[in-house]
A = this chain, B = another copy of it.
Amino acid sequence: MLEFAILGFLADAPLHGYELRRRVAALTGHVRPIADGTLYPTIKRMERADLLRRDVQAGQTAAPRHVLTLSAAGHAELRRQLRTPDELFITDENRWFTLLAFLHHLDDPAAQGAVLHRRLDFLTQPASFFWDGDRPLRADDFPDNPFRRGLFRIATATSRTEIAWLREMLTALTR
């Protein structure tokens, strides 16, 4: 997840770790802040895997900045993950949003459309938060529980908006 976000942001532009941290925090950290102790080991791991290059820039600011640049292998890995994302990236809203933030890096409208289609399929499947055996429960099944009713109301509104957008996008992409 974090690795994916790093690939995405570095594909936008080379950055040093601290700035990367701020951007990742804004994108996902709005929701789930990212710790120092997570970021730097991840960068090291990606460096060892040759996904990125590190150029130390001494001077200027306080501490020497390590400017991170995506390698060719890094670009390839980003495109691979964008083209064939894990199921979690389709179903988990946090991950899906991150995917969407970088989908423009996949320079192939058909492949982009395929990804959007997977999300649309997921959203249009019958689903519920609660079941009675095989019967999906709805808001009306909780007349005395305003919180669960709210849950359904918010989820329905969100998914309607997104489905509408996905249909628009798919029409535009295949035209």
A interface, over-half SS = helix
Partner of A154 from the list B129, B130, B165 (CB cut-off 8 Å) is B165
- Cα distance A22–B131 in the bound complex, in angstroms: 9
List B contacts of A146 (CB < 8 A).
104, 169, 172
Partner of A165 from the list B88, B103, B145, B153 (CB cut-off 8 Å) is B153
**Could you write out 27 A-B pairs with CB less than 8 Å apart?**
A22-B131, A23-B130, A26-B128, A26-B129, A26-B130, A30-B127, A30-B129, A31-B91, A31-B92, A32-B91, A32-B92, A94-B94, A97-B129, A97-B151, A100-B147, A100-B151, A101-B129, A101-B151, A104-B145, A104-B146, A104-B147, A146-B169, A146-B172, A153-B161, A154-B161, A154-B165, A157-B158
